[in-house]
Amino acid sequence: MILSRTATTFAPPVMEARRWLEGVCFPDDRPLINVSQAAPVDPPPDALRQVMADVALRRDDAHLYGPVLGLPELREELAAQTSRIYRGVITSGHVGITSGCNQAFAAAIASLCAEEDEVILPTPWYFNHKMWLDMSGVKAVPLKTNAALLPEPEAAERLITPRTRAIALVSPNNPAGVEYPAALIRAFFDLARRHGIALILDETYRDFHGQSGAPHGLFEDPDWDDTLIHLYSFSKAYRLTGHRVGALVTSPSRLAEVEKFLDTVAICPGQIGQHAALWGMQNLGQWLAGERDEILARRAAIETGFPKLAARGWTLLGSGAYFAYMAHPLPISSAELAPRLVRDQSILSLPGTMFCPDTDNDGARQLRIAFANLDTAGIGVLFDRLAAVDTGV
């Protein structure tokens, strides 16, 4: 039987997890803690919402088709800020605005790959990257990370074949939260260049990096665009998830190929969201710095509070940006544990099996906690509930 493109991959994990809520009643003294999705639940700040309302009311052109590659002003602003942050030379001709960062990845793959080509993904992987490769007829080649959840260039090099078109990294990582050191990112860039393949670097969570300044120096290379495809998202920075505004930064020649893809999928990104992203970049720097400080404080709360779970046999494998990634001590798979946590502890989280191939047994012991929507008190409640799980310890 010939499978359709969509039948070649799995169900969307977040939607699958939400189905575990069906028929479950949460007691008043134990309301649901939803740590399944890495998306801010608060709306944009009022000033930004007012800008969006004004655009909707007063800019007639915001309701029409816009440029396929995005508003010129937003492309210029992102190019200027990326140049400043990374001390490189990026022009608006390197920048394409997309309908979310997932679409940026999809566009990059469409410009790189043909049927039966290969892309190397470190595991645990971001499941939407795997899903898009499946639906594109592209083989996702798993690269198992080390004990620190860092991919190793030497191991990646052993996986490169004549069909390899790219290595895709996410830093700070989704799902593990781990921040890849600058030297490691550079080593992957050099590896990709040496083999004539692309390095796709997804920095959706860059604005919440624990390090001040540039997280790597790839853009300082004058020929960066012969290898690097850089992905970014405005969704997390400015709480614009529902408006779907992302970006990719790449060579002008690749951007011409990307334009073909974008024109046939969405024609153009939503204009109101683009205007919001532009205003946010130009006016919300101090506000965003405060958002970053809050996320770093929550990360600290995860790390300082974890001994309570460690005493019960849990292990913190990684933390950063929006995520904590941990190993559980129970003699069952995380695929069974995660739905049980909904019923027994009113916690909705994602099992590690959603981030690994079926052949990787590590996923059965792992859970992803998207903690960005919990304050420090909420993190304490989460840990109390997890500590109450009978682990036999």
Q: What is the pTM of this model?
A: 0.95
Task: Please check whether residue 349 lies inside any domain of the structure.
Answer: yes
Q: What is the pLDDT of residue 393?
A: 53
The two tokens of residue 292 are: 């970053």
Task: Please check whether residue 1 lies inside any domain of the structure.
Answer: no
Residues 177 and 218 in one domain: yes
Element (H, E) at 377: helix 376-387
Residues 98 and 239 in one domain: yes
Residues 78 and 131 in one domain: yes
End residue of a domain, out of 255, 284, 313: 284
Q: What is the pLDDT of residue 41?
A: 83
Task: Please check whether residue 217 lies inside any domain of the structure.
Answer: yes
Residues 275 and 209 in one domain: yes
Task: Please check whether residue 299 lies inside any domain of the structure.
Answer: yes
- CATH number of 34's domain: 3.90.1150.10
Domain that holds residue 314: 6-43+287-387
Q: Which residues contact 17 (CB under 8 A, 6 or more apart)?
A: 36, 338, 348, 349, 350
Residues 24 and 120 in one domain: no
- CATH number of 239's domain: 3.40.640.10
Residues 252 and 332 in one domain: no
Query: Which stretches in the chain have pLDDT values below 50?
Result: none
Task: Please check whether residue 392 lies inside any domain of the structure.
Answer: no
Q: Which residues contact 231 (CB under 8 A, 6 or more apart)?
A: 101, 104, 105, 108, 200, 201, 202, 203, 204, 246, 247, 248, 249
End residue of a domain, out of 284, 305, 331: 284
Residues 305 and 240 in one domain: no
Residues 22 and 92 in one domain: no
Task: Please check whether residue 393 lies inside any domain of the structure.
Answer: no
Q: What is the dihedral of CA 171, 174, 177, 178, to 10 degrees?
A: -40
Q: What is the pLDDT of residue 221?
A: 97
Q: What is the pLDDT of residue 392?
A: 62
Domains in the chain, number: 2
